[in-house]
Amino acid sequence: MQLSRDQLRAAYQRMCLIRNFEDSLHEEFSAGNIPGFVHLYAGEEASGVGVCMHLDDRDAIASTHRGHGHCIAKGCDPRAMMLEIFGKKDGLCGGKGGSMHIADLSKGMMGANGIVGGGPPLVCGAALTAKTLKTGGVAIAFVGDGASNQGTTFESYNLAKVWNLPAVFVVEDNRYAESTASAWSVGGNQVDRAKGFGMPAQEVDGHDFFAVWEAARQAIERARAGEGPSLLHVKLNRYYGHFEGDAITYKGEGEIEQVKTEKDALMLFKQRVTETKLLDSEELTVIEEEAKAAIADCLASAKAGALPTEADLMTDVYVDYKF
Amino acid sequence: MPMKSFRQAINEALRQEMERDQRVVIMGEDIAGGLGAPGEDDAWGGPLGVTKGLMPQFGRNRVLDTPITESAFIGCAAGAAATGLRPVAELMFVDFMGVCFDQIFNQAAKFRYMFGGRAVTPMVVRTMYGAGFRAASQHSQCLYPVFTHIPGLKVAIPSNAYEAKGLLAQSIRDDDPVIFFEHKVMYDDEVDVPDEPYTIPFGEANVTREGDDVTIIAFGRMVNFANQAADSLAASGISCTVVDPRTTSPLDKETILETASETGRVVVIDEAHPRCNMATDVSALICENCFGDLKAPIKQVTGPHAPVPFSPALEDLYVPGVPKIEAAVREIMGKGH
Amino acid sequence: MSDIRPIVMPKWGLAMIEGTVVEWQVEEGAEVAAGQDIMEIETSKITNVFESPVEGPLRKIVVAAGETVPVGALLAVCAPASVGDDEVEAYVKDFLDNFDWDAAAGGGGPAPETIEVGSKRMRFLKQGDGGGTPVILIHGFGGDCLGWLFNQEALAEGRTTYALDLPGHGGSDKDVGAGKLGVMVQAVLAFMDDRGIAKAHLVGHSMGGAIALALAAEHAERVASATLLAPAGLGREINMTFINGFIEQKRSRKLRPILELLVADPGTITNDMVEEVIKFKRLDGAVEALTKLRDGLFPGGEQEGFPADLLAGLSVPVQAIWGEEDQILPAAHAAVLPDSVKVSKLPATGHLPHMERASEVNAAILAFLA
Ligand SMILES: Cc1ncc(C[n+]2csc(CCOP(=O)(O)OP(=O)(O)O)c2C)c(N)n1
């Protein structure tokens, strides 16, 4: 299978949008403009985009607390996302969810999640819907290395397997859960764990968009074909702290810089497509500039956006019951 | 007495109890941090630095970082408690009880009763609660009423650093499972806290203000708001008693009923949602036992029946604050006979 | 200008950062004498009368009853008639303009220190830094080094003073051994050795009075003088309702009436004072220490009392001050003291003369030291 030039442009555009989105949030948080917990996805772009390039609106993903990248990869509107993160009324969730609960079900984005391990069972549900209603859809659970140790995750592996659900578990192993290394916290390894449940599984270099894309293609095709769940162990790194405000003293000296200079996902993508002459560097630069401008524009909208008001506090608790 | 923050008070209580009793161990996610990582050890000391410094003093055998597996490690604390340790497990946010509740309410809470009194479960679950941190719906709840509902669990909700140190020491020395609630916006709040170890008994309310007109009963962080409201109302001639029950289980019914009867007007402040919370519980208690002494209907000031919203603009409307408490007091001053 | 004398909010104890004028007992224009009760001041810890530190016609009241101001803030001014009203006004304006409200509200001042004496933790509060013989203040049963809030600063002018936390009390180690007076006596001596104090003036209250008396009798070479305030050890009788209630009552409502036995005017006891006692008793080992002391010092509900020959053999200057309405240790106990001991009895005063009649007691101590 090959990616078309348009697909490559679209992939690079989404990765650039994510990178700019996260970098600007990092700045805004440092400046004290963003309240609450903000977990950034910078450095992990190839994973979310590599997987979601295979998906359309029939398909569902469940994300994690580190959800902005998954949202953008799945097609959520960055402007509405930015408004949401700033707590504004026109945000994707009306300002009620914020960074940790950003969602757009119309795009098959089932939400970032404040509960580690909250997503995998939900994905079994989305996969069950697709299977029952025969939509042809698949469901993808993004799972951190930390979340891979939750009981809910293991239970979901088993349920997806025994019900033969069209699901894929993407374990994004960015080497740390908060300050704890996955090298310590994960007993056994992700691929063997999956095999223990009878699921096909493979390890993937998460800095390499093309590797993720290819591995995801196989897993998603298998699911669509009714052949059941599988798992990808995607190995990558995050550039910022666990959340904004984290001093990151647990990482090795120069650890992040080394990844940035040697394995940056955007850099590797660019090298590959220019070396193979699939895209030229001018058009990539245009994409980069456009992404930058687009996010700057989102940011301006978010800052200018109106706040929700008292009238919004009690709406949407139920569909039809007013307390 | 030296001024200490809520954070320091908790840290000191843990340290002193660990020094006092070798069976006390603490466990939780990143309570030290840095395990298996190339950088600093004790890198976190908990997400808000509350347990920082304990691992270097007591070592990894007594300060146990866990994988993210609440069901397993909270259950592990219950099992260890039943077999001879005195674990203090940190459930980072009480909202995560959803992931491990079985181990708390079906296991730990019921051992003693189910086993005919032939078991003790001296475990503590320390956990953060409360809104005001811009932490949205899954990290802001006040779930103490849920735990209070369960026989076999004790529930402590300290209202300041002094209370926190004494109540935590008591929790650790207590032979029943205790759920210990720490309001996440209070960690930097300082009051005088003795250096020495001390305990505050459970089930003994603290009367923080004594007045003649209205009795305000408040929980946790709300006690401070109630005190502020009482002080400002005093300036306009309304004198309030403020009661901090300290623990919701056991509950100091005697002090609540006595102070309610004394003034005959009661306002109950609870940050939790309005249905089946501590405000409804205390109001029912008063109505059932001293209805005849009431001069006006009881007034409840609580969070609304909605999840905690993210947007600061909405969250600020959500939390019961001093103005709402004052308004409630003024309202019932104008009512009744 | 120099004839204008300010009256400012006093600092009663370390924790005091502000006070409320409860009521003025004199009116503008009245002639006040130094030491005259002129107003009642309430702090979070205690309510007490404030005695004028200056004399002369009270020209202007700056802070009215009901107002709360920080320590050091101007309350009123006295000035002779020769000073014009405009001068008084100018003085007040100048004072208010230059007063650092923020610094005043911040508190500060000396803080207790904690040291190891013979492997036991001991807390004390040092105030003043003068040469000469230092003063050691020894509290009574259940008290601590912070109880001298109306006295220590006055005594510390030009002199070093140490207020101790005895074993079992305040921030000191809670081990009281067998709970006998000797343990306390040895602790004071060990403290003096540790601090290199060869000789000191002792001021002891109640049980601390008995300790000071024992030191004066048995270690005369270490004692320059002893002031005994409502001292224990001079008779058998002691109010066990107080002692037992103090140990047993854990809640403010129940403890308050017990603490009210200490004073002639129950209004003196504030909520905070009651809270402080409750907080002390919650410390690990505190109630055990008090219980041991009760059983050691008052077995069967009576004091053991000093033998008569011990009193007769006193060789250092000793004075005793007693409140006539003392409900804990009756002032009549003073009768057993030898004639060499000067005894003052204060009217309308209970068991805490150093709080209830602070300036009289301070004056008596200062005169005795001179
Ligand atoms: C049930 C639950 N436990 C703990 C947390 C606190 N928490 C939030 S993120 C996180 C680490 C997650 O690590 P990982 O799954 O590897 O994802 P990463 O942050 O590395 O993307 C933890 C412990 C939580 N939100 N939910």
- The string of pLDDT tens digits covering residues C167-178 is 999 999 999 999
B47 and B92 share a domain? yes
Q: In this structure, what CATH number is given to the domain that contains residue B93?
A: 3.40.50.970
DSSP string, B193-214: --SS-B---TT--EEEE--SSE
- Residue bearing the bigger pLDDT, B293 or C251: B293
B101 and B42 share a domain? yes
Ligand 1, atom 25, lies closest to the CA of A115
Which one of B190, B196, B232 would you mutate to disrupt binding with C, by most C Cβ within 10 Å of its Cβ? B196
> In this predicted model, what pLDDT tens digit does every residue of A89-142 receive, in sequence order?
999 999 999 999 999 999 999 999 999 999 999 999 999 999 999 999 999 999
| Interval between CA C309 and ligand 1 midpoint (Å) | 77
Do residues A75 and A10 make contact, with C-beta atoms less than 8 angstroms apart?
no
Q: Indicate whether C102 pLDDT > 80.
A: no
The answer to whether position B14 is within a domain reads yes
Ligand 1 neighbours, Cβ below 6 Å, are: A 64-66, 114-117, 144-147, 174, 176-178, 242; B 29, 68, 70, 92, 96, 99
Q: Indicate the pLDDT class of residue C107, thresholds 50, 70 and 90.
A: low
Question: Alpha-carbon distance C225 to C223, whole Å?
Answer: 6
Burial call A248-259: b when 16+ CB within 10 Å, e when fewer: bbbbeeebbeeb
> In this predicted model, what pLDDT tens digit does every residue of A96-109 receive, in sequence order?
999 999 999 999 99
Which of B152, B170, B192 is the last residue in one of the domains?
B192
B163 and B227 share a domain? no
Question: Alpha-carbon distance A176 to A184, whole Å?
Answer: 9
Q: Indicate the pLDDT class of residue C219, thresholds 50, 70 and 90.
A: very high
B145 and B227 share a domain? no
> What's the total number of domains in chain A?
1
B82 and B188 share a domain? yes
| Interval between CA A178 and ligand 1 midpoint (Å) | 7
Task: With H, G, I as helix, E, B as strand and everything else as coil, classify residue C252.
Answer: helix
Give the pLDDT confidence score for residue A65 in this predicted structure: 98
Strands (E), chain A: 60-62, 139-144, 167-173, 176-177, 180-181, 201-205, 230-235
DSSP string, C298-352: SGGGS-----HHHHHT--S-EEEEEETT-SSS-GGGGGGS-TTSEEEEETT--S-
Q: What percent of chain C has pLDDT over 70?
A: 97
Q: In this structure, what CATH number is given to the domain that contains residue A33?
A: 3.40.50.970
Q: Indicate whether C317 pLDDT > 90.
A: yes
Q: Indicate whether C368 pLDDT > 80.
A: yes
CA C318 to the chain's CA centroid: 18
Q: Is A313's CB within 8 Å of B138's CB?
A: no
> In this predicted model, what pLDDT tens digit does every residue of B294-335 receive, in sequence order?
999 999 999 999 999 999 999 999 999 999 999 999 999 987
Burial class (CB in 10 A: 0-12, 13-18, 19+), C324: middle
Q: Indicate whether C99 pLDDT > 90.
A: no
Ligand 1 atom with the shortest distance to the CA of B29? 23
Burial call C102-127: b when 16+ CB within 10 Å, e when fewer: eebeeeeeeebeeeebeeebbbbbbb
Helix pair A45-52, A5-30: axis angle to 10 deg: 140
Q: Indicate whether C335 pLDDT > 90.
A: yes
Q: Is A95's CB within 8 Å of B137's CB?
A: no
Which one of B44, B71, B275, B310 would you mutate to disrupt binding with A, by most A Cβ within 10 Å of its Cβ? B310
The answer to whether position A74 is within a domain reads yes
Residue C278 at interface with chain B, using a CB cutoff of 8 Å: no
Long-range Cβ contacts of A9-13 (<8 Å, 24+ apart)? A9/A279, A9/A283, A9/A287, A10/A53, A11/A49, A11/A50, A11/A53, A11/A209, A11/A213, A11/A269, A12/A266, A12/A269, A12/A270, A12/A273, A12/A279, A12/A284, A12/A287, A13/A287, A13/A290, A13/A291
Ligand 1, atom 12, lies closest to the CA of A177
> In 3D, which of B72, B76, B42 has the Cα closest to residue B59?
B42
Burial class (CB in 10 A: 0-12, 13-18, 19+), B149: middle
CA B239 to the chain's CA centroid: 27
Q: Which residue has the tokens 């210990």?
A: B180
Q: Is C114's CB within 8 Å of B162's CB?
A: no
Q: Is A180's CB within 8 Å of B135's CB?
A: no
Q: Indicate whether C51 pLDDT > 90.
A: no
DSSP string, B317-334: HHS--HHHHHHHHHHHHT
Q: Is C284's CB within 8 Å of B162's CB?
A: no
Do residues B91 and B164 make contact, with C-beta atoms less than 8 angstroms apart?
no
Q: Which residues, in sequence order, are bridge partners of residue C201?
A: C135, C225
| Interval between CA A146 and ligand 1 midpoint (Å) | 6
**Cβ contacts (< 8 Å) between B199 and chain C: which residues?**
282, 284
The answer to whether position A194 is within a domain reads yes
Length of chain B: 337
B231 and B188 share a domain? no
The answer to whether position A320 is within a domain reads no
The answer to whether position A231 is within a domain reads yes
B151 and B259 share a domain? no
Q: Which of A117, A185, A308 sits opposite B313 (nearest CB)?
A: A308
Q: Mean pLDDT in chain C? A: 92
> In this predicted model, what pLDDT tens digit does every residue of B35-63 receive, in sequence order?
999 999 999 999 999 999 999 999 999 99
- Closest-CA distance of chain A to residue B102, Å: 13
Closest CA in chain A for residue B312: A87
The answer to whether position A322 is within a domain reads no
Q: How many CB atoms lie within 10 A of CB C285?
A: 16
> In this predicted model, what pLDDT tens digit does every residue of C145-160 receive, in sequence order?
999 999 998 999 889 9
Q: Indicate the pLDDT class of residue C310, thresholds 50, 70 and 90.
A: confident
Q: Would you state the structure tokens that stand for residue C266, as one six-digit string?
A: 């129950």
Closest CA in chain A for residue B274: A323
Peptide bond into B250 cis (omega under 30): yes
B142 and B236 share a domain? no
- Closest-CA distance of chain C to residue B196, Å: 6
Cα within 13 Å of Cα(C267), Cβ side: 8
pTM, rounded to two decimals = 0.90
**Cβ contacts (< 8 Å) between C286 and chain B: which residues?**
198
Question: Alpha-carbon distance B54 to B44, whole Å?
Answer: 11
| Interval between CA A153 and ligand 1 midpoint (Å) | 13
**Cβ contacts (< 8 Å) between B166 and chain C: which residues?**
282
Q: Going by beta carbons, is chain A in contact with chain C, meaning 3 or more pairs sit under 8 Å apart?
A: no
Q: Would you state the structure tokens that stand for residue A38, as one six-digit string?
A: 């903000």
Q: Is B311's CB within 8 Å of A117's CB?
A: no
Residues 101 through 140 of chain C touching chain B, CB cutoff 8 Å: 114
Q: Indicate the pLDDT class of residue B15, thresholds 50, 70 and 90.
A: very high
Q: Is B194's CB within 8 Å of C279's CB?
A: yes
Question: Alpha-carbon distance C177 to C168, whole Å?
Answer: 9
Q: Indicate whether C337 pLDDT > 80.
A: yes
Q: Indicate whether C130 pLDDT > 90.
A: no
Residue B304 at interface with chain A, using a CB cutoff of 8 Å: yes
Q: Tell me which of A154, A174, A178 to substitute to probe ligand 1's pocket, judged by most ligand atoms within 8 Å of the beta carbon.
A: A178
> In 3D, which of C189, C176, C231, C185 has the Cα closest to residue C207?
C231
Closest CA in chain A for residue B92: A115
The answer to whether position A306 is within a domain reads yes
Q: What is the dihedral of CA C3, C7, C11, C17, to 10 degrees?
A: -120
| Interval between CA A170 and ligand 1 midpoint (Å) | 15
| Interval between CA A152 and ligand 1 midpoint (Å) | 13
Which of B159, B192, B225 is the last residue in one of the domains?
B192
Q: Would you state the structure tokens that stand for residue B309, as one six-digit string?
A: 């919203």
| Interval between CA A73 and ligand 1 midpoint (Å) | 21
Q: Which residue has the tokens 């009867």?
A: B261
Question: Alpha-carbon distance B17 to B169, whole Å?
Answer: 7
**Cβ contacts (< 8 Å) between B33 and chain A: which residues?**
178-180, 250
- Closest-CA distance of chain C to residue B9, Å: 14
Give the pLDDT confidence score for residue C2 in this predicted structure: 64
Is the ipTM value over 0.90, yes or no? yes
The answer to whether position A319 is within a domain reads no
Tell me which residue range forms the domain holding A182: 5-312
Which one of B97, B314, B315, B317 would you mutate to disrupt binding with A, by most A Cβ within 10 Å of its Cβ? B314
Q: In this structure, what CATH number is given to the domain that contains residue B324?
A: 3.40.50.920
The answer to whether position A232 is within a domain reads yes
Active site residues of B: 139
DSSP string, B58-124: H-TTTEEE--S-HHHHHHHHHHHHHTT-EEEEEEEEGGGHHHHHIIIIIIITTHHHHTTT------E
Question: Alpha-carbon distance A41 to A145, whole Å?
Answer: 14
B172 and B321 share a domain? no
**Cβ contacts (< 8 Å) between B139 and chain A: which residues?**
37, 100, 114
Q: Indicate whether C44 pLDDT > 80.
A: no
Do residues B318 and B301 make contact, with C-beta atoms less than 8 angstroms apart?
no
Helix pair A119-133, A151-162: axis angle to 10 deg: 20
> In this predicted model, what pLDDT tens digit does every residue of A163-221 receive, in sequence order?
999 999 999 999 999 999 999 999 999 999 999 999 999 999 999 999 999 999 999 99
Residues 43 through 62 of chain B touching chain A, CB cutoff 8 Å: 43-44, 47
Length of chain C: 370
- Closest-CA distance of chain A to residue B46, Å: 10
Q: What is the mean pLDDT of residues C93-109?
A: 76
Which of B192, B217, B234 is the last residue in one of the domains?
B192
B162 and B258 share a domain? no
B161 and B213 share a domain? no
- Written in H, E and C, the secondary structure of C107-171 is CCCCCCEEEEECCEEEEEEEECCCCCCCEEEECCCCCCHHHHCCCHHHHCCCCCEEEECCCCCCC
The answer to whether position B311 is within a domain reads yes
Q: Indicate whether A300 pLDDT > 60.
A: yes
Domains of chain C: 5-105 (2.40.50.100), 113-369 (3.40.50.1820)
> In 3D, which of A112, A164, A119 has the Cα closest to residue A140?
A119
Do residues A91 and A305 make contact, with C-beta atoms less than 8 angstroms apart?
yes
The answer to whether position B200 is within a domain reads no
Sign of CA dihedral C54, C60, C63, C66: positive
Residue B310 at interface with chain A, using a CB cutoff of 8 Å: yes
Do residues B279 and B309 make contact, with C-beta atoms less than 8 angstroms apart?
no
> In 3D, which of A110, A88, A107 has the Cα closest to residue A33?
A88
Q: What is the dihedral of CA A153, A156, A158, A159, to 10 degrees?
A: 170
DSSP string, B115-156: TTT------EEEEEE-S-SS--TTS----HHHHHTSTT-EEE
Give the pLDDT confidence score for residue A119 in this predicted structure: 98
The answer to whether position B145 is within a domain reads yes
Q: Is B204's CB within 8 Å of C251's CB?
A: yes
Do residues C211 and C187 make contact, with C-beta atoms less than 8 angstroms apart?
no
Residue C49's H or E segment, with its range, is strand C47-51
Ligand 1 atom with the shortest distance to the CA of B96? 1
Q: Please give the single-letter amino acid code of residue C100.
A: D
Q: Indicate the pLDDT class of residue C127, thresholds 50, 70 and 90.
A: very high
- Closest-CA distance of chain A to residue B43, Å: 6
Tell me which residue range forms the domain holding B176: 3-192
Q: Which of B33, B136, B313 sits opposite A97 (nearest CB)?
A: B136
Q: Which residues, in sequence order, are bridge partners of residue A62?
A: A141
Do residues B67 and A149 make contact, with C-beta atoms less than 8 angstroms apart?
yes
Q: How many CB atoms lie within 10 A of CB A151?
A: 14
Question: Alpha-carbon distance A251 to A41, whole Å?
Answer: 17
Give the pLDDT confidence score for residue C47 in this predicted structure: 79
**Cβ contacts (< 8 Å) between A185 and chain B: which residues?**
35-36, 67-68
Q: Indicate whether C131 pLDDT > 70.
A: yes
Ligand 1, atom 4, lies closest to the CA of A116
Task: With H, G, I as helix, E, B as strand and everything else as coil, classify residue A283.
Answer: helix
Do residues C135 and C203 make contact, with C-beta atoms less than 8 angstroms apart?
yes
The answer to whether position B23 is within a domain reads yes
B142 and B273 share a domain? no
Q: Please give the single-letter amino acid code of residue B188.
A: D
Give the pLDDT confidence score for residue C156 in this predicted structure: 93
Question: Alpha-carbon distance A131 to A25, whole Å?
Answer: 38
Give the pLDDT confidence score for residue C14 in this predicted structure: 67
- Closest-CA distance of chain B to residue A132, Å: 28
> What's the total number of domains in chain B?
2
**β-bridge pairing A201-205 and A230-235:** parallel
> In this predicted model, what pLDDT tens digit does every residue of B166-206 receive, in sequence order?
999 999 999 999 999 999 999 999 999 999 999 999 999 99
Neighbouring chains to B with at least 3 Cβ pairs closer than 8 Å: A, C
Q: Indicate whether C1 pLDDT > 60.
A: no
**Cβ contacts (< 8 Å) between A99 and chain B: which residues?**
310
Question: Alpha-carbon distance B124 to B14, whole Å?
Answer: 11
